[in-house]
Amino acid sequence: MVSVIDEDRALVALNFEAPDLPDPLQHQSLRHLKQGVDLEWDKAPPEDVAEQLSAYFKRERTDFDLTLAPKGTPFQQKVWTALQAIPYGEHISYGELARRIGNPKAARGAGSANGANPIAIIIPCHRVIGANGKLTGYAGGVHRKAALLDHEQNALFTW
């Protein structure tokens, strides 16, 4: 994963780095970063982020307690806030996401904002699926989206 931290030590971006993906620093979510802002680019997330992600993948954590500062339009910010309200182990459709932000006709726009999410996993854009129940686009690849949903669903039934 590649992380970006701003001058206030808030997480601005967290994206996948893998041979099958484009350079994460070129992700569309980073296009909104302002020139001249002091940012730290790192190939590894900061310790607190790494610890919480590790606990998530060990099924010891279902949410995150981190300072986030994703850069985006007001509409994108509304979508990203709504994403954080989707409970662990659950999923909703793009239409439902649009309804939750008070704009029920904006499913496509909500989908675009979802795709521009700069903080993968922590802002859980993987929890949004097509209205027909099919998995649709994911910046980290649909196979990663499926794995994250499976991870969360199976964690709910582990004894």
Task: Read off the pLDDT of residues 37-96 as tens digits, 9 standing for 90 and up.
Answer: 455 555 566 788 889 988 998 999 999 999 998 989 999 999 999 999 999 999 999 999
Above 50 in pLDDT, residue 36? no
CA–CA distance, 26 with 42 (Å, rounded to integer): 14
Other residues' Cβ atoms within 10 Å of the Cβ of residue 57: 13
Other residues' Cβ atoms within 10 Å of the Cβ of residue 34: 7
pLDDT confidence bin for 25, thresholds 50/70/90? very low
Q: Where are the domains of the chain?
A: 2-57, 74-156
What's the CATH number for 74-156? 1.10.10.10
The mean of the pLDDT values for the chain is 81
Q: Given this model, what pLDDT does residue 42 score?
A: 53
pLDDT more than 90, % of the chain:
47
- In this structure, are residues 16 and 140 in contact, taking their beta carbons and an 8 Å threshold? yes
Mean pLDDT of 116-132: 93
Q: Given this model, what pLDDT does residue 35 score?
A: 47
Choose between 151 and 157: higher pLDDT: 151
Above 80 in pLDDT, residue 8? no
Helix, strand, coil distribution of the chain in percent, nearest 5: 40, 15, 45
In the set 49, 125, 128, 148, the catalytic residue is 125
Check if 53 is active-site.
no
Q: At what angle do helices 107-115 and 74-84 cross, to 10 degrees?
A: 80
**pTM value?**
0.81
Using alpha carbons only, give the angle 56, 43, 151 rounded to the nearest 5 degrees.
20
